[in-house]
Chains A and B, each alone.
Chain A
Amino acid sequence: MTPARFDELIHSPTRLAIVSLLAAVEWADFKVIRDQVGLSDSALSKQLSTLEEAGYVQIRKTFIGKRPRTSARLTGAGLAAFKQHVAALQQLVERSGVTVLPS
């Protein structure tokens, strides 16, 4: 069972969206993350840098022909922190006795 640990860094709404998306994929192209989360290039770069500094995200820069391509993936530490954060949220919901109905 995953231990519950609330993570302030991940819980920020924008970073939660980015990390949630990255948790579902092995890696994702910068443009895919930008379009899915709905951020500008600069805003996404800033958030990815923050996550990279925390050791949660690895950023990879490659070239397809002459075009640069940036992609990102969650590191092992990032995935573990995300799972612990989700467990903490679930625990909080369960303790409150709130019933979550599917939409």
Chain B
Amino acid sequence: MNERLRPDEATSALAEIARQQDKAIEATLVPAWYWWAVAAGMVAIGAAVDSHSAVVRGVVITVAVVVIAGLTAAMIFGSYRRVRVRSNELLGGRGAVAIVGFVWLIVGLTLGIAFGLRAAGAIMLGNRAGRAR
């Protein structure tokens, strides 16, 4: 133990360690513009489906899927090449289970609500095609 080190210096060093580790994790995070691009792609697909035009549907869906898939691959492999987080120590088994559980919860709730509404005879209010039916 270094007896010359003051407690406030040790505190600062611990804060610096936490700051650097946060930065390391941030370097692997997906940038906000990616999520906006995915959202725009989803809206475009929805609008194309509602257009009732086979040509528009074919073109827009193809372009949107290619763009989203390309961006996703670039995000994954770009980040993977630059830095790889020590996930087993930072995330841990409980963290991984929590993420998978959350995804299944969302999927289960969405499907449950959708089938429930359909069984109840509800029209799809957010969908032009559903309203027209």
Interface of B is mostly: helix
Chain B residues with CB below 8 A from A27, complex form: 83-84
Q: Which of B1, B2, B17, B23 has the most CB of A within 10 A?
A: B17
Taken residue by residue from 25 to 36, chain B's Cβ proximity to chain A (1 for < 8 Å, 0 otherwise) reads as 101000000000
Chain B residues with CB below 8 A from A103, complex form: 15
B81 contacts A36, CB within 8 Å? Answer: no
Taken residue by residue from 15 to 26, chain A's Cβ proximity to chain B (1 for < 8 Å, 0 otherwise) reads as 011001101111
Partner of A6, one of B2, B14, B19, B86: B2
Interface hits, A5-43 → B, CB 8 Å = 5-6, 8, 11, 13, 16-17, 20-21, 23-29, 31-32, 36-37
Q: How many residues of B contact A (CB 8 A)?
A: 26
Q: How many A-B residue pairs have CB under 8 A?
A: 93
Chain B residues with CB below 8 A from A88, complex form: 1-2
Chain B residues with CB below 8 A from A4, complex form: 1
Chain A residues with CB below 8 A from B83, complex form: 25, 27-29, 32
> A81 within 8 Å of B by Cβ?
no
Looking at chain A, what size class is its interface with the partner chain?
Answer: 35 or more
Interface of A is mostly: helix
> B13 within 8 Å of A by Cβ?
yes
B residues adjacent to A (C-beta < 8 A) = 1-2, 5, 7-8, 10-11, 13-17, 19-21, 23-25, 27, 81-86, 90
